[in-house]
Amino acid sequence: MSEPARILVVDDDESIRKPLAAILEEEGYIVDTAENGKEAIEKSDTKFYNLALIDIRLPDMEGTKLLTLIKETTPKMVKIIVTGYPALQNAIEAANKGADGYILKPVTIDSLLKTIKEHLKKNRSQKIQRTKSNRIHRNTSQRIRSNNQQKSTVTPSPFSPRIFTMSTIFHRFPSLKNCFFDHLFSRLTYSMKPCCLVFAIYHV
């Protein structure tokens, strides 16, 4: 059984932060909270979270600025902006700063849980795909190295260089071919000549 997802709730409003954390814990998630951007950065630097719910207006910084700061340290964490200010400019800025989702207040519990589940599922799928891709890349690299090692350890035939050299010479000096085979055949027994002839024709 997989470990429950870890969620960080970042909101300065205690009346929202605490009830939201309690609901998520009832759903089986491991939940941590932060009431400002500084605390959120400190916690995300020392702990791993699968997902963060970030209020767009925090007492010490904008939620979009927090997005930028934690994106550098936790790029694979899902980051969802929660806002009561449904301006198009806010949504565009959040997307540009690395937000994976955008939720409007007042938040209904059903829609919030659905959004969280969808993003966590998508994140797991991407992680599995990255793992498969890395495994395929690693196996391919190992096969290539193995093939290169096998090629480097193959002992070349002692006849290969000589055959290649003779073929080159016969190509450049055709008249030498008959002389060579006349000399070779004169030193073979009658039973060996057909085999030698086939070998010579194939390689020359």
| Mean pLDDT of the 37-50 span | 95
pLDDT tens for residues 73-118? 888 899 999 988 777 777 778 888 889 998 888 889 999 999 999 9
User: For residue 156, what is the DSSP state?
Assistant: P
Please state, in angstroms and as integers, the Cα–Cα distance from residue 108 to each residue in 145, 152, 188, following that order.
Answer: 55, 66, 98
- Taking each helix axis from N to C terminus, what angle separates 88-96 and 63-73, rounded to the nearest 10 degrees? 10
The topology under which CATH files domain 6-131 is: Rossmann fold (3.40.50)
Average pLDDT over residues 129-136: 69
Overall pTM surpassing 0.85 (yes/no) = no
Give me the residue spans of the domains in the chain: 6-131, 160-203
